[in-house]
Each structure stands twice: as C-alpha cells, then as structure tokens.
A = this chain, B = another copy of it.
Amino acid sequence: MNSIPTAPPSGFRDFLPESCALRTRAVEKVSAVYRSFGFAQIATSAVEDLAVLLGKGGGENEKLIFKILKRGDKLEAALAAKEDPADLGLRFDLTLPLARYYSKNKGTLPNPFKAFQIGPVWRAERAQKGRYREFYQCDADIIGSDSPACEVEVISALMAAFEVMGVEAPQVVLNDRVILFALLDAAGVPQDKRGGTCVLLDKLDKVERAQIVTELTELLGPGPAQALEKSIIDGDKISVAPEALARLEWIRETLKTTAGIEARVSPSLIRGFDYYTGPVFEFRSPKLSGSLGGGGRYDKLTEKFGGAPVPACGASIGFERLMLLLEEDPAAAKAGGPDFCMTVFSEELRAQSLKLAARLRQAGKTVDVYPGKAKLGTQFKYADAKRAARVLVLGPDEAAAGVVNVKELATGKEEKVALETLL
C-alpha cells in the first residue's frame, strides 16, 4: 500500500525537462534585457518575518500568505497560550521584499537604485486552471527618483523583454492613481465607497458595460454612476489633476519618441495593489485575456520600514502567462537535445568512449554518454528520447581504425569519421 503522493501539492508544479529548459531560457533572456538597461540583479529571502508581510491592515494579503509554523518550544508555548503558531511566511510578491531590502541597504547602493529580481512567489489562492500557488515574477524597479523618466525606462525595459521573448504586438495601457481618485471625487464617490467602486471598474474588461453601470448605480446612486460612465468609462476629457495629466502625457509621448512604443491611456485601469501612488501601467497581448504584467509608482512603500519615503517605480512580468504564450509556439517550446549521444559498445570500450566524450565536451559540445549496459538498439532508443542530434558508436572495428560511426538522427545518414576530424 502506498499513500504517499507522487504529485506536488495542489496548485504547485514540477517541470518536465522540456518545459524547464524553456523557462530557464526565458529567465536568461529577460535577465539579459534587464541588464542591458542597467538594472542590477538582486535576490531576497523567500521567507519573511510575518511582521514584514502583514504590516498595517494586511487584509486581503493576509489570507494569501503561506505561514510557517514556529519551531520547538516556541510552538508549544504559542499553542498553549492560543497565540499565533506562525512567525514566518513565504513572500507573496517581490516588491515588498525589495522595499525592505532597499531600506536596509540603501547606504551601500547606487542612488537611484535600478534593480531586477526574478524568482518564485507564493499565494494561498484557490488553485484553478492557469492560476498557481507558486509562480515566478520578473520585476524591474527604480528606487530613489520621482522623475517620470523612470516610468519610461521601466516600461521600455519590459517591452524590450517581450520583444526578445517573441511576444507579438504587446500593448501598453497607462493610467494614474491621482487622476483616477480625482475623477472619483469629481463624480461624488464617497471615500468609503472608493474601494468597491474600483473593484467594479476593474471588471470592465470582463463584464458587460451595462452590467457595470447597473452595479455602480446600485452602489453609488444614479448621479455618481452617470458621472463615472462619462469620465472613466467613456474617457471624456474632464479637467482634473492637471499635473498628473501632464505627467501621464509626457510618459506617453516620450515612450513614442524614444522607443516607438504606442501606449494608450485608459482612465479605468486600476491595477490591484494598494501601494501604488501615481502612474500605473499594464501590458497586454491580443492573444491573452488579462495582462502580461504591469506596474506603477509606489512612493510610500519604504515608509513602512521607517525613515523618509523614497520615490519608486517598478513593473513585473507575469512569467507564467508569458510561458503560456511561448508554449503555444512549437519552435520556442522545442528544447534542443545534446549534440551527441555516445553509446558504449562493450565494457572493454567504455573507457575509450568516455574519453572521446570528454574530448568533445572540451571542444564545447554537449555529449550524453549512455549510462549503463544495454544493447545498441536500446541505446539508440535512449538517444532518440533525449533528442540527440547525432549518435556515436565506437565498436572494435572503429577503434582499431581510429574512426567513429556517426549517425544523424533526423536524416538517418550514417558515416565513419576519423576521430581527429570529429574533434
């Protein structure tokens, strides 16, 4: 009887070789693009003190945190006293750890600090198709500058990453929290209904417009709902927050003139996180519903860790959604196998086979040697399963003649090649 599961826990994943190779190549490509923009890679701990993750009024986030049990005597004491049995938790994004990291290390970091971070985050959400409890984020942030040039740089870096990854026609949508809140104020939305109103507006992409307007009317009454329909849903020009409007226009224009990026302003773009204070943006693909990533300005987040607030702006690639797009592309998904699979003809010839493999590796080739003893037919099947480009056979005749038999698996073409020629 076996009751030990062989699948990972619900919402968690293992990756088969081909899928893993695709992910590794994607991480390397995105890293290279971020680096080319002058972002320096950092890494933060996967585990954080709960005090960092929860902070003031954790609310929604608190429910999503995987909490880690206290250990030993502390656990006993907490359980006996009916206190929180947890003291640590898994990070649920890379931005909060970055703010902590910056607060700790700012004295030794360049100013402004351009950082990128790629790694897993964990959220205890209900597992469903395409939504995982462990997933990667690829963040790029600039901390220490309030210039809208940061938005241009961050958006340009992400667009360059999408381009390198072969994403077709990614789109940028822009908005500004300052403008959004000013429009809510102008429409007469009371402070305590801002949150609910934003939740409704955020559904504009997924739900019929008429439905949203009905729900807004139920929540706010007909006056504010009509005003919001005009200003936010239809995007009629209304003069609120002129400085924020000018900043957003500068970002849109500069993206166009410097990088040829045609961004679209959408007054209803929300982006979920509470910590955004200014421009927010989102990346979309015509091939996917939802977003490929997004970000914004968060000028207050470092306040949480004491000291003066430091202006900051960053964005995150939704890595798993990017992988969904890439996996649809057979060319991208096809992982290359080794250059050669070296068979082992007999125990007597094993050492010579291993030596040949070693010399090919020294010449920069990837060479799999069949591990173990098996008939040549079995070894050829193995080479096939490994997607090797060529299979090498070094039998007694070949060894005596100083040659090796090379078979190209794609064509079946076979020839004897002198060892020196091969190397």
Residues of A participating in the B interface, judged by any CB pair closer than 8 Å:
2-9, 12-17, 20-21, 23-24, 28, 31, 35-38, 40-49, 51-52, 55, 63, 66-69, 71, 79, 85-86, 88, 90, 97, 100-101, 103-105, 108-112, 114-115, 120, 122, 124, 133-134, 142, 144-147, 149-150, 152-153, 156, 160, 254, 257-259, 304-307, 338, 341, 344, 350-351, 354-355, 358, 361, 365-369, 371-373, 382, 385-386
Cross-chain contact A47 with B134 (CB below 8 angstroms): yes
A167 to B20, CA, bound (A): 28
Cross-chain contact B66 with A149 (CB below 8 angstroms): no
- Copies of this chain, complex-wide, total 2
Cross-chain contact A5 with B52 (CB below 8 angstroms): yes
A385 to B110, CA, bound (A): 5
A142 to B81, CA, bound (A): 49
Cross-chain contact B23 with A114 (CB below 8 angstroms): no
Cross-chain contact B9 with A48 (CB below 8 angstroms): yes
Cross-chain contact A24 with B41 (CB below 8 angstroms): yes
Find chain B residues with CB under 8 A from A31 CB: 24
Cross-chain contact A21 with B5 (CB below 8 angstroms): no
Cross-chain contact B147 with A3 (CB below 8 angstroms): no
22 example contacts (A-B, Cβ-Cβ < 8 A) are as follows: A4-B306, A5-B51, A6-B306, A14-B42, A15-B42, A17-B109, A21-B40, A24-B41, A28-B28, A38-B338, A47-B66, A66-B68, A66-B88, A68-B69, A69-B85, A85-B85, A109-B385, A110-B385, A112-B371, A149-B371, A150-B372, A258-B351
